[in-house]
Amino acid sequence: MSEDYSKFIAPERRAKPTPKSIVREDGSCEFGTFDKEFEEMDLVKLKRPTALPQCFNRLKLTMWEATEVHLKNGVLLAVVCDMGIFGKTLNVFYDKRTKKTYCWDTNLKSKDTVIAKNLINGAVAEAHTPVSFVKYVNNFQDGKCELSGKHSGKCLITVPREDKTAVAAIKENYGEASIEYSFTLNRLSKPCVASIPFSETRPRPLYSQKDFFKAEGSLIINGEEMLTDEDSTAVVDDHRGYYPRHAHYDWVTTMGKCDIDGEKKWLAFNLTRNQSINQEKYNENILWLEGETSILPPVKFERSVESRDFKNYSEWTIKDEHDMVNLKFKVYGINPMIMHAVVVNIDYYITFGVLEGYLRDESGKKYVLDGMMGMGEDKTLLL
């Protein structure tokens, strides 16, 4: 008889009805886990979420909409981001066959970056530059999203070194490359909507909605067209929050089909560790199954090699305290995005590899993920 693992899940992790607005009338914030999208998410209206005067709210608020699309031969990360002081279009493609990572990263003015006011009724998130665009049309009330974009010109290409004793972490070079894509996404499971407090004394939230989708469409990279198939999937991440000056998060995900009781069925997960003031009550760890979800507990990340020292292989271990999560993430590809400037310092590593190990749902049922494609992030900020 399977053990009841639901006893390890705090009541605050159970989804409750979503209020109309994430900001209450008194300027405080709604915290917890919710069952659907917020209609109103104007976090600029929060009352003193940081130590700075209210007029600085817009500059301190970080917002993005991002999607990971898993195709047969590669993985796309497509992002439109507004950091408050600047905006960004970001497209990253990992070629599973060659283990090459292509990264196009273009900044633009914050005022020229559009983050959707919500995720319903056709709300649009988009950013355009002379060499790029990323656009989302959100209809999450119907379980749908449209994603399109392109990027051309200078591209950072990274390849793991074959020589394990190499001093340089990875081979890096800039080259001319291009990518273009268009996808229609249809929801496969229930959403994960969380508002996480990052401060004991201030309404400093990290809001995140993540959704598991079937992907249909195509991608063209350097003239090679890749079409979706019956196994192509995506996870959309809508993300808004006030990060503390010193912040760090670890994240890993997978999506696709898994062998469950002898059948290939849809499965995905999200595992994150960030600055939540109470990891048990407030996190966004979840297992997506066909039409349903199972909550996962807090996890911790350990690495055999720090991301800054990556050469050709690294192993991440992700575990909880109750044996619901027991994973190894074998990292074969990495894309470093390092920015050290006067007003912002970011050490951001996007990683790709293969998973080994298992997850358990709340009933104790085990899902073995050996061989599934994994994607992760290791990000440190000084704002």
Q: Are 173 and 166 in contact (CB under 8 A)?
A: no
CB atoms within 10 A of CB 58: 13
Q: Are 228 and 215 in contact (CB under 8 A)?
A: yes
User: Domain ranges in the chain?
Assistant: 5-382
φ/ψ of residue 313, rounded to 5? -165, 140
Residues in CB range of 223: below 8 A, 6 or more apart: 178
The DSSP secondary-structure symbol of 59 reads H
φ/ψ of residue 50, rounded to 5? -130, 175
Q: What is the structure's pLDDT at 311?
A: 86
- pTM of the full predicted structure? 0.95
Q: What is the structure's pLDDT at 3?
A: 86
Q: What is the structure's pLDDT at 173?
A: 85
CA 300 to mean position of chain CA atoms: 17
CA angle 304, 74, 358 (to 5 degrees): 45
Beta bridge partners of residue 375, listed in sequence order: 253, 352
CB burial readout 276-315, b (16+ within 10 A) else e: beebebbbbbbbbbeeebbbbbbbebebeeebeebbbebe
What is the full per-residue pLDDT of the chain (383 aa) written as tens digits? 568 999 999 999 999 999 999 999 999 999 999 999 999 999 999 999 999 999 999 999 999 999 999 999 999 999 999 999 899 999 999 999 999 999 999 999 999 999 999 999 999 999 999 999 999 999 999 999 999 999 999 999 998 776 554 444 456 688 999 999 999 999 999 999 999 999 999 999 999 999 999 999 999 999 999 999 999 999 999 999 999 989 999 999 999 999 999 999 999 999 999 999 999 999 999 999 999 999 999 999 999 999 999 988 999 999 999 999 999 999 999 999 988 876 778 899 999 999 999 999 999 999 999 999 999 999 998 87
Pairwise CA distance, residues 29 & 277, whole Å: 15
Q: In terms of Cα–Cα distance, which of 372, 333, 328, 338 is closest to 351?
A: 333
Give me Rg for the CA atoms of the chain: 20
